[in-house]
């Protein structure tokens, strides 16, 4: 017996939704405020389940039932909905092609550019959308459900624009924000190096050597998401002769067309293939006007944006896999019976566990975004590390369990499940890696000093 919400009467639309979801005929006891179900049988049941699943998928209330979305301002809701439409109607159909070819999703970015979403984190007084952290993560989550690689690379672009806002001069803000808003330019974050790791203290080997008009930048970077698709690279290194990163960490915008920038097309990964995260060698000149911030000033900026975006991305992958397999079991029969798999208690437990993981991850993500909005650095560090760790683990777990529930077909490339699983595998190792996230969370909960990322 299922309680009907604890209110007098059961509206017809609620009765219909319950019948569609639970696969039976609802009998309402108005006095007891309860609903019981009589199961349909045979072909009638199968037809009803197929029709019901289709109707439920088309019902916004069903999506809200699974994963309630936090209240948003009308403009924020329009932004999230616009991203969801693009992901559903355009990105999803292209994702397998980008994955197979390890090709950058140029068409997706053309759509984002046309929709004005490339300027999602550009301040409004510079012509952007000025999205707050909550709007941002919900938008990114929707993009990830359509194309993982688009979401991951977009997070790099959008986060760097936040650094420009925090550290750039007025002239730099006008220059680079206009390039994004008016020209649709893309920006990549370039930090990772072949011989260093964020699991401990990160050691930068890229050197900024002072020259008459700026710096000569020399070094090799890898895992450079956006690869040669970016128009600008936000490159970080240390100034020559500095005692350490705290005194000498410096970043500059380097144009892709700048002499001395060499992209080595080495990216051939298991997952996130469309990010084209190539290796890039720098042996180039940088003008003083292209240096963003003073030496060491980057440490004064909230760097949690990367990890928060990763949490949204990998949760989006998990949600996509969950929604796919939930639709599948509602319509796929248990042969030789025509009854859908959703009527199996084993399947119901699997769906329940996956759905609970996803919902918990979504709640953590929303809390982390709100902590960042509140401006409490320590609370943000705790919530973002918890969210990134949990979303990445949920991404791997849910995609794997969805593949198992799909059976042998789950490993076929004709279905998206194996691609989502391969993409999700990158989550736990992306900095801050999940081990590092747990270390940071543990320190904070023990009352110790902690830092998500540390440089030597």
Q: Where are the domains of the chain?
A: 2-66, 189-299, 303-455
pLDDT band at 196 (very low <50, low <70, confident <90, very high): low
Closest CA to 61 of 28, 130, 4, 14: 14
State residue 63's pLDDT score. Answer: 57
Q: Which CATH number fits domain 303-455: 1.20.140.10, 1.10.630.10, 1.10.3720.10, 2.70.70.10?
A: 1.20.140.10
Which helix H or strand E contains 37, and what residues bound it? strand 34-39
State residue 437's pLDDT score. Answer: 96
| Euclidean distance between CA atoms 309 and 304, whole angstroms | 9
Q: Can you name the residues that pair with 264 across neighbouring β-strands? A: 279
Is CATH 2.40.110.10 the classification given to domain 189-299?
yes
Closest CA to 185 of 83, 253, 103, 93: 253
Strands 261-264 and 278-287: antiparallel
Q: Do domains 189-299 and 303-455 have the same CATH topology?
A: no
State residue 56's pLDDT score. Answer: 35
b/e map 425-437, b = 16+ CB within 10 Å: bbbbebbbbbebb
Closest CA to 153 of 80, 104, 117: 104
* Each residue's pLDDT tens digit, 198-219: 556 667 889 999 999 999 999 9
| Euclidean distance between CA atoms 121 and 130, whole angstroms | 5
Which helix H or strand E contains 409, and what residues bound it? none
| Euclidean distance between CA atoms 197 and 81, whole angstroms | 37
pLDDT of residue 237 exceeding 60, the answer is yes
Q: Any residues with CB less than 8 A from the CB of 336 and at least 6 apart, and which?
A: none
| Euclidean distance between CA atoms 153 and 225, whole angstroms | 6
pTM value is 0.85
Asked if residue 326 lies in contact with residue 155, where contact means CB atoms within 8 angstroms, the answer is no
DSSP conformational letter for 115: T
DSSP conformational letter for 301: S
| Euclidean distance between CA atoms 375 and 210, whole angstroms | 35
State residue 299's pLDDT score. Answer: 84
b/e map 374-411, b = 16+ CB within 10 Å: eeeeebbbbbbbbbbbbbbbbbbbbbbbbbebbeeebe
Higher pLDDT, 364 or 46: 364
What is the residue whose two structure tokens read 């019976």?
Answer: 337
* Each residue's pLDDT tens digit, 399-423: 999 999 999 999 999 999 999 999 9
**Mean pLDDT in residue range 371-400:** 97
- What the block records as the tokens of 151 is 């979401």
């Amino acid at each position: 017996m299922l309680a009907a919400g604890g209110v007098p009467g059961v509206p017809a639309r609620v009765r219909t939704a319950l019948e569609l979801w639970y696969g039976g005929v609802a009998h309402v006891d108005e006095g007891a405020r309860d609903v019981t179900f009589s199961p349909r049988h045979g072909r009638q049941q199968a037809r009803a389940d197929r029709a019901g699943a289709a109707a439920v998928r088309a019902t916004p209330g069903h999506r809200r039932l699974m994963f309630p979305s936090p209240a948003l301002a009308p403009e924020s809701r329009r932004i999230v909905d616009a991203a969801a439409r693009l992901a559903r109607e355009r990105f999803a159909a292209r994702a397998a092609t980008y994955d197979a070819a390890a090709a950058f999703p140029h068409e997706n970015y053309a759509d984002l550019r046309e929709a004005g979403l490339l300027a999602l984190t550009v301040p409004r007084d510079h012509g952007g959308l000025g999205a707050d952290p909550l709007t941002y993560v919900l938008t990114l989550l929707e993009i990830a459900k359509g194309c993982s690689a688009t979401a991951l690379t977009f997070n790099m672009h959008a986060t760097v624009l936040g650094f420009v806002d925090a550290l750039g001069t007025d002239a730099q803000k006008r220059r680079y924000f206009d390039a994004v808003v008016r020209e649709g330019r893309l920006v990549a974050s370039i930090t990772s190096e072949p011989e260093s790791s964020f699991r401990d203290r990160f050691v930068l080997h890229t050197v900024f050597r002072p020259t008459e008009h700026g710096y000569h930048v020399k070094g090799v970077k890898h895992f450079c998401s956006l690869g040669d698709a970016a128009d600008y690279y936000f490159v970080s290194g240390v100034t020559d002769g500095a005692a350490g990163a705290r005194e000498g960490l410096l970043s500059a915008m380097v144009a892709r067309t700048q002499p001395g920038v060499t992209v080595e097309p080495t990216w051939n990964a298991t997952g996130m293939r469309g990010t084209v995260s190539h290796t890039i060698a720098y042996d180039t000149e940088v003008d003083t006007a292209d240096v963003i911030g003073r030496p060491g000033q980057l440490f004064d900026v909230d760097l949690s944006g990367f990890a928060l975006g990763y949490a949204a991305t990998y949760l989006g992958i998990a949600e996509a896999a969950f929604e796919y397999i939930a639709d599948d079991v509602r319509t796929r029969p248990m042969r030789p019976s025509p009854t859908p798999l959703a009527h199996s208690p084993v399947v119901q437990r699997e769906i329940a566990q996956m759905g609970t993981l996803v919902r918990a991850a979504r709640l953590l993500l929303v809390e982390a975004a709100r902590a960042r909005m509140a401006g409490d650095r320590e609370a943000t560090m705790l919530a973002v590390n918890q969210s990134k760790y949990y979303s990445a683990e949920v991404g791997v777990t849910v995609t794997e369990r969805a593949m198992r529930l799909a059976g042998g077909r789950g490993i076929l490339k004709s279905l998206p499940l194996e691609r989502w699983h391969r993409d999700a595998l990158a989550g736990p190792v992306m900095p801050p890696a999940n081990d590092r996230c747990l270390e940071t969370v543990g320190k904070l909960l023990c009352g110790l000093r902690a830092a998500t990322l540390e440089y030597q």
